[in-house]
Amino acid sequence: MPVRAVFLDRDDTINYDPGYLGDAEKVRLYPGVGEGLAKLKNELDFKIIVISNQSGVTRGIITEEQVRAVNEKINELLKVFNVEIDDFFYCPYHPDYDPPELTECRKPSPKMVFDAAEKHGIDLKSSYFIGDQLTDVECGNKAGVKTILVTNKISEKEINNLQSPNKRPNFVAVDFLNACRFIEEDLTEKKFD
C-alpha cells in the first residue's frame, strides 16, 4: 500500500495564530484538531506533515528556535489525543527580504511538499492538503494532492477567488473535523453531504 499523507498548514489551520507566533506557551489548538489528526493517523494510516511559511524569521520578529519550540509544543498538546505530527517543514524566507533562490520554498510553491514526499516516500496522488489560505490550496493543487480549505479566518472575498485557476479546492470545510470527515468519505468514495 502506498504511503499517503495529509499535509497541513500550521497557523490558523491547526492552531490559533496571534501573528508571528513565537511563544510556545501561547499555542492553542483549534477545536477538533486533536481528534481529527488521531483519526487520520491512527485509523486511516496517514502520515501527518506540516507545510508552513514562517517569514517572521527573515523579518527578525521570531527565530528558528522559536518556530521549532512552537512545533514541539503542538506535538506536546497532541499527545493527549495519542497522536503527533510526523514532520514539520517550514520556509523562513520572504521575497521582500531574500533572494529568489531562497524563497523558492515559500507557498504557494509546492517545493516543501515535494521535499516531504521524497523524504518520506509519499504517494502524492493519494494524499491531501488542509489549509486556511488560498496559497495552501494553490500549493496542494500544484503538488497534485487533493485540497481542502478550512474557513477559520478566510474572508468572503477570498472565497469568491476560489474560481481562479489553481485556487479551487476539492472541498471547503467549515472546521477541521469537517475536513477530516471529507477525507474519510473520499477514501471510501462515498458521496459527502
36 three-class SS? helix
Q: Is 9 a catalytic residue?
A: yes
- Take residue 44 and report the three cell numbers written for it: 486511516
Chain-centre distance of CA 36, in angstroms? 13
- Take residue 138 and report the three cell numbers written for it: 494553490
H or E element, residue 49 = strand 47-53
| Active-site residue identified among 9, 17, 132, 136 | 9
**Residue among 143, 145, 147 nearest 134 (CA):** 147
- Take residue 57 and report the three cell numbers written for it: 524569521
Burial class of residue 157 (count of CB atoms within 10 Å of its CB; 0-12, 13-18, 19+): exposed
- Phi and psi at residue 71, to the nearest 5°: -60, -45
| Active-site residue identified among 11, 17, 132, 136 | 11
Q: Is 96 a catalytic residue?
A: no
Q: For residues 18 and 140, is the Cβ–Cβ distance under 8 A?
A: no
Catalytic residues: 9, 11
